[in-house]
Amino acid sequence: MRSDIAISVRNLTKTYRIFGHPGDRIKQALTFGKMRFHREFTALQDISFEIKKGETVGIVGRNGSGKSTLLQLLCGILKPTSGTVQVNGRVSALLELGAGFNPEFTGRENVYFQGAVMGLTRAEMDARFADIAAFADIGDFIDQPVRIYSSGMFVRLAFAVAVHVDPDILIIDEVLAVGDTIFQQKCIDQISMLQSQGTTIIVVSHNPYHIERLCHQAAVLHQGKLSDLRPAKEILAQYHEMVQEDMGPSPGMNESLREGSHELYFEKVLIENASAFVTNRVLTNEPMCIIAEVFARCPMDNVRFRFELCSSSNDIVAVVATNGLSEAWQLNGKHRISFTLNPCQLTSGWYYLNAIASSKYVRLDTWQRVVDFKVLLRDKSAQDLSLDQGIFVCHGHWEFS
């Protein structure tokens, strides 16, 4: 391995053997593996990558995509089924905060013990203790048993130890999400400091902000396969798209329901995107068109149409209606009405549409959840990702004086 490489992974595959019953493992051992009592589950498939010294790499992926398995393999906690992992330097792993802590012992004792686990002598820990205590900021609790700590104190102490043992390689699994904002900022600052000291860092996080803020490069892990390492921004965009694609309509959405006198009724209601394709996927920054085909059994006027856009949590997000306009329309037979939102402006996710037609006195046709549609982001820059929250994306203009 070249000396500027911190981690080199070649054709790494990890297959778990799943035994239905603990005794099956013994049976298999007793037959020297000639009889199989297990099924196999491949968590990682043929992964190869290299991380140079001093680089920070982010790994994103859905739950169950194999992220934790990959980190455990990098730490040497798990053994690869095939392929190799070579690591150059001392690794400090934060797979679970405070995993080695014993609740019966005081914070101070646990700090020293954690140091011993990392291979530091008592004298080396003495030199670091003041920094650790200051970073954890738990005051006199440092001499109390860890079991009486609040969860916030616990994670602060655990994180403080892990980042103060001068690792060559720091592996962080989803632990930045703990603690309050101030502590998170402190963690990020500390990690930035380690970066400037040349520590190689691998971060797993679901928070796009952390990945973009900390990582030079990133990769998506999906169903046990790892993408190439690319700039964090590109990877985040790819990941976001993947998550959106995979996400189906929420099971909590209201059932489709239809009632009314049906002297006039909706034949169909559908969504068209900007290029006039019938679809149920629209982009947030492009026009979206609601099209309804209606049929009137007899000549009538004074009809109002109303469309309710509902979020996956069944809240009405917006209503468009023909009030004050359609009363003059003379309806008989088949008609087509449409409404264009330009641009769609909804934040990404699943929505559905309720269509309602009513005359002055009667509900002609009420069709709940007539069509589902999904709003996607097109440009997945982190800038847009950070705005993809709430109900809709505001357009407006800033002034500065």
> Per-residue string for binding with other proteins, 44-73, x by CB under 8 A?
----------------------------x-
Residue in 1, 35, 99, 391 binding other proteins, rule: CB under 8 A: 99
Shortest distance in whole angstroms from residue 19 CB to other proteins: 8
Shortest distance in whole angstroms from residue 178 CB to other proteins: 15
Residue in 8, 50, 95, 297 binding other proteins, rule: CB under 8 A: 95
Residue position matching structure tokens 């001068």: 166
The stretch among 19-27, 187-195, 204-212, 329-337 that binds other proteins (CB under 8 A) is 19-27
Nearer to other proteins among residue 167 and residue 179 (C-beta): 167
The stretch among 52-60, 87-95, 278-286, 350-358 that binds other proteins (CB under 8 A) is 87-95
Type of residue found at 247: M
Q: What is the distance, to the nearest Å, from the Cα of residue 319 to the centroid of all Cα atoms in its chain?
A: 30
Shortest distance in whole angstroms from residue 203 CB to other proteins: 17
Q: What are phi and psi of 3, to 5 degrees?
A: -75, -15
Q: What is the distance, to the nearest Å, from the Cα of residue 194 to the centroid of all Cα atoms in its chain?
A: 26
The stretch among 44-52, 115-123, 205-213, 269-277 that binds other proteins (CB under 8 A) is 115-123
Residue position matching structure tokens 């979206």: 288
Q: Where are the alpha helices (DSSP H) in 215-342?
A: 232-246
Residue in 51, 59, 75, 194 binding other proteins, rule: CB under 8 A: 75
102 binds other proteins (CB under 8 A): yes
Shortest distance in whole angstroms from residue 118 CB to other proteins: 8
Nearer to other proteins among residue 112 and residue 367 (C-beta): 112
Burial class (CB in 10 A: 0-12, 13-18, 19+), 254: exposed
For residue 229, the 8-state DSSP code is: P
Residue in 10, 17, 222, 306 binding other proteins, rule: CB under 8 A: 17
Residue in 64, 100, 139, 152 binding other proteins, rule: CB under 8 A: 100
Burial class (CB in 10 A: 0-12, 13-18, 19+), 208: buried
Q: What are phi and psi of 22, to 5 degrees?
A: -55, -30
Judge contact between 265 and 333, C-beta under 8 A.
Answer: no
Compute the distance between CA of residue 21 and CA of residue 94 in angstroms, rounded to an integer: 31
Residue in 1, 31, 64, 96 binding other proteins, rule: CB under 8 A: 96
Shortest distance in whole angstroms from residue 107 CB to other proteins: 14
Name 86's bridge partners: 8
> Per-residue string for binding with other proteins, 24-43, x by CB under 8 A?
-xx--x--------------
Q: How many residues bind other proteins (CB under 8 A)?
A: 30
Shortest distance in whole angstroms from residue 369 CB to other proteins: 45
- Tell me the CA distances in angstroms from 138 to 98, 133, 183, 254, 269, one per residue in order: 15, 7, 12, 48, 60
For residue 381, the 8-state DSSP code is: -
The stretch among 105-113, 255-263, 329-337, 376-384 that binds other proteins (CB under 8 A) is 105-113
Nearer to other proteins among residue 109 and residue 293 (C-beta): 109
Residue position matching structure tokens 């007793």: 30
- Tell me the CA distances in angstroms from 255 to 309, 311, 368, one per residue in order: 15, 13, 8
C-alpha torsion sign, points 157, 159, 163, 168: positive
Judge contact between 199 and 54, C-beta under 8 A.
Answer: yes
Residue in 78, 214, 364, 370 binding other proteins, rule: CB under 8 A: 78
Nearer to other proteins among residue 29 and residue 35 (C-beta): 29
For residue 330, the 8-state DSSP code is: -
Binding residues (CB under 8 A) for other proteins: these are 16-17, 22, 25-26, 29, 72, 75-79, 91-93, 95-96, 99-100, 102, 104-105, 109, 112-113, 116-117, 119, 121-122
